[in-house]
A = this chain, B = another copy of it.
Amino acid sequence: MPLGVFDSGLGGLTVLKEIHRVLPAENLIYFGDTARVPYGNKSSKTIIRYSREIAEFLIARDVKAIVVACNTASSYALDALRSMTDIPVLGVIDPAVRSLTQKAQRKSTAGLIATKSTIASRAYEAALERHHGDQFLVSQACPLLVPLIEEGYANSAAADLILKDYLQPMVDRGVEYLLLGCTHYPLIAQAILRLYPHLKLIDSAEETAAELRNLLAERGAMRSGTNGSVDLYVSDMTDSMRALRDLFFAANVDRFETAEVGEQ
């Protein structure tokens, strides 16, 4: 049985890439909702509806687990998805927050950068409480980073100016660990570290893939062998989407095609 992974668009491919790296034998099905991307400025009601429609698509393909590779959907839709199915549903927030509680000093101040909707959800604060973390979170919505990354401006003078606007106030407050709360952000990590070399970045993709591996191992549900298939589905296809696919997931895929979900 395959693993299902979804995102509002193609940014979640950073998570898929990491899953493919640590679990190369698994068959992977990815859905990117490119007809309705982005979710990061949309309401919880709309985000939950879209996420349920995609979960139905994946469940119909007999997946053995669903990874919500989108911080915004992980912020709002996990409970709704778990009420639909008995298979495990993993978000990207808990794995990152667990890692923070293990690495960061007690009572230290940590930073969170994410979309507006993710910040507004306070999902990271709730996860910190679940994991009994006593770190203090300062958060910053960074709505310009996704377009800058997608347009190839991650390493540019303009991105540096905007990153300083977003990050300097956090650095001034003594932040050492920074949670990358959006699947796109690993692609701008290098620029962040060039500006602020002392920051320690926590990347949801790595932490989520590790947690997924543990979960499959515990359940004896890992596939053996080496070459799993990778099938990518999107709700809309254009040249931009083909370019983003290459940006986020340059490896070979078995399938890259359009599929409809819900009633759209």
Contact = CB atoms under 8 A, between A and B. Distances in A.
Contacts of A156: 161
A122 interface: no
Contacts of A159: 158
Query: Chain A interface residue count: which class?
Result: 20 to 34
Given A36-B35, A238-B43, A153 B147 contact: no
A235 to B, nearest CB: 8
Interface string A240-262: 11000000000000000000001
A54 to B, nearest CB: 14
Interface string A113-153: 00011001000000000000000000000011001101101
A237 B46 CA distance: 9
Contacts of A194: none
Given A41-B240, A43-B237, A151 B158 contact: no
Select the residue from A116, A144, A153, A158 with max chain B CB neighbours within 10 A.
A158
A160 B251 CA distance: 36
A152 to B, nearest CB: 10
B143 A151 contact: yes
Q: How many subunits of this chain does the assembly comprise?
A: 2
A116 B158 contact: no
A150 B42 CA distance: 14
A35 B262 CA distance: 14
Interface in A196-237: 236-237
B158 A147 contact: no
Contacts of A45: 236
B147 A117 contact: no
A172 interface: no
Contacts of A264: 49, 262-264
Contacts of A153: 144, 162
Nearest to A164: B158
Interface of A: 34-36, 41-43, 45-46, 49, 116-117, 120, 143-144, 147-148, 150-151, 153, 156-159, 161-162, 236-241, 262-264
Task: Give the 7 A-B residue pairs with the shortest CB-CB distance, closest first.
Answer: A263-B263, A158-B161, A158-B158, A147-B147, A41-B240, A46-B236, A43-B238
Given A41-B238, A45-B236, A161-B161, 11 more contacts: A34-B42, A35-B42, A35-B46, A41-B241, A43-B236, A49-B264, A144-B151, A158-B161, A262-B264, A263-B263, A264-B264
